[in-house]
Chain A
Amino acid sequence: MRNPQRTEKIAFFFLLLATLLIVVPVGLIIVVIIQKGAPAINWQFLTDMPRQGMRAGGIFPAIVGTIYLVSGAILFALPIGLLAAVYLSEYAKDNFLTRIIKLAIVNLAGVPSVVYGLFGLALFVVFFKFGASILSGALTLGIMILPIIITASREALESVPYSFREVSLSLGASKWQTIRNIVLPNAIPGILTGTILGLGRAAGETAPILFTVAAFYLPQLPQSIFNQAMALPYHLYVISTQVPNVDEKIRYGTALVLLALVLFMNLIAIIIRYRFRKKKKW
């Protein structure tokens, strides 16, 4: 005979198990990285150049490079992504072509990052002759996170109630005034969520920067956007697989810095989003 309470208990157990299966590995990863990486973290490690073939010294140029790349990618992708999202959700007629474009953008978000790397190599490095440079890398990362930003922004725009638009239009506001004054301010939290996701992805990816910007080792900081740069994820890859006898401490320290950097950028975006949500009046 079936006992509904027992069924519920079993179901509850499996739901809890599924949640734990997600939480526990994430927790373990963070614990292990902190445990093994924390001893490496000191002021010198954060602000010094790598020494002795990257077996000692700091990771300063990689930190700087990653910050440049992520900022450049956001600077490029956020305005374009936002404008595209506004066009797609507010202006574009709902026809076959628009639906194809929307579908394509969603699919682009799932394209493997190494494909973006190859695309960046062909377009920015070779065709536009930017060479392997911060510019090429930032643009490649920007293109990679565009679909994420567009999709999240579209969802944010479309979640603003239709009645607000109708009211605004009925008061004699033009379509652009309606978007500018009513739709966009209420979509900002959602747009920032998309940007946070994009930020994290841009900071962590190795493949797109592999061919477009990343340097194995540079003795100095980049002087302009046409220079190559070191970056944390690639540096981590290099000291983990390409350079023998690197102290485990340094490798985990690098991973910890990368993790902290991404979390820190997320934190900033979360604070901005929180501020906007608090201002929201409905």
Chain B
Amino acid sequence: MKISVRDLNIWFGEIHSLKNLSMDVQTNEILSIIGPARSGKTTFLRELNRLNELERNVKASGSVTIDRSNIKKINTESLRRRVGMVFALPLPLPLSISDNVAYGAKMCGGKSKAKLKQIVEQALKKAYLWDEVKDRLETSAFKLSGGQQQRLCIARTLAVEPEVILFDEPCSGLDPISTAKVEEAMLKLKNDYTIILVTNNVKQAARVGDRTAFFLSGELVELDKTDRIFTTPRDQRTDDYIRGKFG
């Protein structure tokens, strides 16, 4: 078991965004999280690498552990290196392609230029982007297409060598072909990383998730093997959501 969540509650001011959440994430699985907007999916992800703490007026109770150590007891820099994140929109930093990928590793310090170059190449290969950009590593990351930018963001996260990767609707701004490429990368990455994928696209959850969790209004309704969720869900609300009756 990689991540263990117990009785997690999160409030933003008066809004109770996550309610009594308890769940486990297994090592080297892809856990998909589906649910309508404002159901707490992203809030949950951002709690795992403590990005929620950047907001004002946020309160949390309960515990999250990664490899049995409480994330609040790990300093944020090393926690965020272990738990990487790919955001909903491709967000390259205003740097060149190679500097984008090397950024996290550089901030960590103590790496030679040759080593960084090697890290950049490996990460870009893992994100299936190397062949498309290897001749223009020094150009701005903003010159890439949206799909390429998102794979660049994946490479950037991989370069830090995390254990867990959080994908927050990584394909919401992408065309079907780019989406397929990102999904392909995810399935490959599963062998080395634990992946949590938040998605608005129910079919995507069905395609890549080992297990799927359904969130509704800040509560975990159901969590099971993906094929179980999509064939014989136990809860009527899960069934309704998957069939597109709401959300």
A interface with B by C-beta (< 8 Å): 94, 163-164, 166-174, 177, 181-182, 185-186, 280-282
Contacts and interface: CB of A to CB of B under 8 A. Distances in A.
A175 B103 CA distance: 14
A171 B157 contact: yes
B107 interface: yes
B40 interface: no
Given A172-B104, A281-B141, A167 B93 contact: yes
Contact of B91 (A163, A173, A174): A163
Given A170-B85, A173-B77, A164 B107 contact: no
B128 interface: no
B77 A168 contact: no
Contacts of A166: 51, 54, 87, 91
7 contacts: A164-B91, A170-B84, A171-B156, A173-B103, A174-B77, A177-B107, A280-B94
A171 B87 contact: no
Contact of B107 (A172, A185, A186): A172
A interface: dominant SS: helix
Contacts of A168: 93, 103, 107
**Looking at B93, B103, B153, which has the most chain A CB atoms within 10 Å of its CB?**
B93
Contacts of A163: 87, 89, 91
B94 A171 contact: no
A177 B77 CA distance: 11
Interface in B87-107: 87, 89, 91, 93-96, 103-104, 107
Nearest to B83: A170
A167 B88 CA distance: 11
A47 to B, nearest CB: 46
B107 A173 contact: yes
Nearest to B82: A172
B54 A172 contact: no
A282 B103 contact: no
Nearest to B103: A171
B245 interface: no
A186 B56 CA distance: 25
B228 to A, nearest CB: 32
Listed from nearest, the 9 A-B pairs whose CB atoms lie closest are A171-B104, A281-B140, A172-B81, A173-B107, A282-B94, A172-B80, A170-B85, A281-B94, A177-B107
Given A171-B160, A172-B78, A173-B77, A281 B142 contact: yes
**Looking at B77, B81, B87, B141, which has the most chain A CB atoms within 10 Å of its CB?**
B77
B162 to A, nearest CB: 9
Given A173-B77, A174-B107, 10 more contacts: A163-B87, A168-B107, A169-B51, A170-B49, A170-B85, A171-B104, A172-B78, A181-B107, A281-B141, A282-B140
Contacts of B187: none
A166 B54 CA distance: 9
Contact of B96 (A177, A182, A281): A281
A242 to B, nearest CB: 54
Given A166-B54, A171-B160, A174-B107, A186 B80 contact: no
Contacts of B96: 281
B108 interface: yes
**Looking at A94, A173, A280, which has the most chain B CB atoms within 10 Å of its CB?**
A173
Given A181-B107, A281-B142, A282-B142, A172 B91 contact: no
A167 B78 CA distance: 15
Nearest to B156: A171
A282 B144 CA distance: 12
Contacts of A181: 103, 107
Nearest to A162: B54
Contacts of B157: 171
Contacts of A167: 87, 91, 93, 153
A277 B132 CA distance: 27
A51 B160 CA distance: 70
A170 B81 CA distance: 8
Contacts of A169: 51, 54, 76, 80
Nearest to A167: B91
Nearest to B80: A172
A171 B51 contact: no
Contacts of B93: 164, 167-168, 182
Contacts of B95: 281
Nearest to A280: B94
B165 to A, nearest CB: 11
A219 to B, nearest CB: 54
A186 B94 contact: yes
A277 to B, nearest CB: 12
A170 B80 contact: yes
Contacts of A172: 77-78, 80-81, 104, 107-108, 160
A173 B142 contact: no
